A = this chain, B = another copy of it.
Amino acid sequence: MKKFMNDPADVVAQALAGVAAAHPELRVDVAERFITRAAGPRPGKVGLVSGGGSGHEPLHGGFVGPGMLDAACPGEIFTSPVPDQILAATRAADGGAGVVHVVKNYTGDVMNFQLAAELAADEGISVRTVLVDDDVAVEDSTWTAGRRGTGATLLVEKIAGARAEEGGGLAEVAAIGQEVNTSSGSFAYALRAGTTPAAGRPGFELPEDEIEAGVGIHGEPGRRREPMRPAKDLVRSGLDAILAAKPFPGPVIVLVNGLGGTPLIELYLVFGEVAAYLAQRGVRIARQLVGNYVTSLDMAGMSLTLCQAGDEMIRLWDAPVRTPGLRWGA
């Protein structure tokens, strides 16, 4: 393993120091491990907090700023943050109107956020949780951990963030966030596993002509190993899986997301195929975003996310956002 780092154990802390130096518009508490807007919470505004393991950058720290998150708490690499840290971020995001937690559906994230929410409630902070579980590659069942939260997390944070920014109440912000999740489906392919600094070698080894289909964003193998196929075919299969899992009668927001090690030129090629196939399937694209947003360290791969979006969601998607990782209209 070769990475730009010093000691594998210090990667997160030292990267946070870099974020602090690079973004004066953010406040980074390197010791307590959370990132907030430098301006602090706006009184009366609902706070939006997210977090999870590190290694998914720009998610979540890169989405702190006007129009999106108030605070992010990054855990160790691929390890959910701890309750104390989430609590500290929640306090820092609270403008008195309560805080919404955006939580990706992983056992660790769910438990740590739940414990933090209980601690916050003890301090008198109202917390609502939006659980993101958009990955259609995983079967949904009450007997299992359920579906993973992946690409739709960006959409939830953007759209709920816009609602919070314009003054939405706690219930409203949580409701639109949950609606975005319910309206979304994602499917991912990996061509090459990423490498965590702690493990020092790729999460799985793939032969030159095989890929993992239905991967998550934590370096774990996918649902099945498949022969490599042209981009056009992969896009069709991925979209078929999403379209089979949920109805998409109206226009959609599309996210073609790189997992960290795939160059932009390939992501654009993929988006071209997505646009062509959705046209063929009669699904209208209202908005689109192409780039590396919800990554898995240096995994070579991409995820496709569709989100069924009505006028209100599109209005909120278009609303100004000013963060290191996503910025428009402001």
Interface residues, chain A, with chain B CB atoms under 8 Å away: 1-7, 11-12, 14-22, 54-55, 57-58, 62, 77, 191-192, 194, 206, 208-209, 211, 228, 230-232, 234, 260-273, 275, 288, 290, 292, 295, 297-298, 300, 302, 327-328
In the complex, besides A22-B271, A57-B265, 4 extra interface pairs with C-beta distance below 8 angstroms are A2-B191, A4-B269, A11-B269, A194-B263
CB distance from A227 to the nearest CB of B (A): 11
Partner of A230, one of B5, B209, B234, B300: B5
Residue of B nearest to A235 (CB): B4
Q: Given that A211-B2, A261-B261 are known contacts, is A268 also in contact with B298, CB under 8 Å in the complex?
A: no
Q: Chain A interface mostly helix, strand, loop or mixed?
A: mixed
Inter-subunit contact A62/B264 (CB<8 Å): yes
User: Counting chain B CB atoms within 10 Å of each CB, which of A22, A263, A275, A302 scores highest?
Assistant: A263
Which residues in B have their C-beta under 8 angstroms from that of A7?
Answer: 230
CB distance from A101 to the nearest CB of B (A): 23
Which residues in B have their C-beta under 8 angstroms from that of A15?
Answer: 265-266, 268-269, 272
Residue of B nearest to A194 (CB): B263
CB distance from A204 to the nearest CB of B (A): 14
Q: Once the chains are docked, how many angstroms separate the CA of A232 from the CA of B62?
A: 23
**How many copies of this protein are present in the complex?**
2
Q: Once the chains are docked, how many angstroms separate the CA of A228 from the CA of B327?
A: 36
Inter-subunit contact B55/A18 (CB<8 Å): no
Provide a sorted-by-A list of 6 A–B residue pairs whose CB atoms are within 8 angstroms: A6-B232, A21-B275, A22-B275, A261-B300, A292-B292, A327-B328
Inter-subunit contact B22/A265 (CB<8 Å): no
Residue of B nearest to A254 (CB): B22
Q: Given that A265-B57, A270-B18, A298-B261 are known contacts, is A4 also in contact with B288, CB under 8 Å in the complex?
A: no
Inter-subunit contact B21/A54 (CB<8 Å): no
Which residues in B have their C-beta under 8 angstroms from that of A273?
Answer: 14, 18
Residue of B nearest to A266 (CB): B4
Which residues in B have their C-beta under 8 angstroms from that of A14?
Answer: 231, 269, 272-273
Which residues in B have their C-beta under 8 angstroms from that of A58?
Answer: 264
Q: Once the chains are docked, how many angstroms separate the CA of A302 from the CA of B191?
A: 22
Partner of A55, one of B55, B263, B298: B263
